[in-house]
A and B are shown apart, each in its own frame.
Chain A
């Protein structure tokens, strides 16, 4: 399957839409999810890995007419999704992505799940194999509050995005935005678009890696295979 033709979007418009989702859509979702949704073309084929209870997926299906599939590890999440009529399978990103064919989807979404996988590098390669494009978001461990927390408290961070104590967090492979960009380069993955989502949950296109790495709470990337 050839990559879908994807007109370059104006980051300003994209950011506006993310701030004011109701301006375009009847439903509203979290700004970080809205940012992801805005990256995805209407009517495309989307696989949402780690789709939780199907919040983003149901939005994409209902508001953007995508052909949506999901994968989720937790039984509660899968059951919640299927019960609301979404097509979601119980599965593990680390072991089950190889069951999907190359180019099987236009977009593969991995929202705040990469850091919970055993082998993020292998998962990243699978994403760009299965999808013409991959959308990946993750909490940025280089964010200044996390740096300060570690510097002054000497403890692993306890933030709304990373709420569990270190011994029971599912996040086993945390990284910074800089780490992620370097991993993409090492894996031959092309970064098409890159954003940070800050404390005010306002998405900003990444222009300076240094600033993004310090000030971004989350990183959101649109990727494709080289």
Chain B
């Protein structure tokens, strides 16, 4: 800690888990050309690090996820976003692996981001915070691994934006990781996905309470804009089948149409709830910054447009996973990664999981997905002389039936 370190709001001070100040070993040079002298990363761990530090798995979270992957969330009181995946007898078995999940750089739950105090002004960074990229997030995570003394991660695993971080790790620091599991992700953010993000950002920026990004100074929150951004995004995380099964055209608490603009349909009511609850746990400026980081992601562009060059000679074992009904990161996007890995004759497995739950399938109880991931990690663990284990069945109701909590 130094005197110039950003101060955290009281809420963040009271968050459980770890928070480490980094930057003493040198400033973090960002892709945008600016540098962060000091920055903080908040992280959570599950399980025990073994004696030779060979059993660590880094879990990378998605756009609005956070470090609380497998425990009751301190703000929402809901289960962690990957509780189905992390724990004893689960694919990321905490009896065998040491699981680390950090809040990304630019996030709003303890890691340095636009919500934090800018040491130069004593006020919240807001839009003065430098724009960050997926690569910057990964470089910050690497600093965290250095801090933890972990030279080589057993695996890096993540879905959606987390999958982008996994690809970035494999490409930039192949010697620091054993296996890479990019799930429901793409080698670059598509025009359609940038378009959806832009709708969300415009909704936030059109909210008068956004106040050109300075809303924290005046104690306001652009609730309406952020809620609309979340509602739009949320639709893209589901599938037509999932929406139909969950809601159909059923009406909400009424027998007939109102012939007005109230939430007549259950799906409307659901989206309004999703938007409203999101505002309570996420920062609008962080949303702008992190969506931008995803938009900028194009791994092949860093390698003269040849994605295979990102993986040339890679010693990393890859397992690429996609879901049939994911229209945000559809299987053809995953295949682009696989084809590039083939071209580099990398060690790659690729599985497309049959699911009608859309993009959010990676967060849910999909037994085939869990079996595949467990089998892949077991195969690698065996190779390294680490213990292996079969999955234990999940309890029938694991609090995961609510499709699409955090994507």
Contacts and interface: CB of A to CB of B under 8 A. Distances in A.
Interface of A: 45, 67, 69, 75, 78-79, 81-91, 96, 99-101, 104-105
A75 B349 contact: no
Contact of B350 (A67, A83, A90, A100): A90
Contacts of B196: none
A91 B350 CA distance: 9
A90 B372 contact: no
B343 interface: yes
Contacts of B344: 101
A101 B343 contact: yes
A75 B368 CA distance: 11
A79 B339 contact: no
A82 B319 CA distance: 9
Contact of A89 (B343, B349, B368): B349
Interface residues of B, number: 28
A75 B378 contact: no
A83 B339 contact: no
Nearest to A81: B349
Contacts of B342: 89, 96, 99-100
Given A86-B349, A87-B348, A100-B343, A79 B379 contact: no
A88 B349 contact: yes
Given A67-B347, A100-B342, 4 more contacts: A79-B372, A82-B351, A83-B371, A85-B376
Nearest to A84: B375
Nearest to B338: A89
B246 to A, nearest CB: 25
Contacts of B380: 85
A79 B368 contact: yes
B365 interface: no
A75 B147 CA distance: 41
A75 B338 contact: no
A74 to B, nearest CB: 11
Contacts of B339: 96, 99
B402 interface: no
Contact of A83 (B343, B348, B374): B374
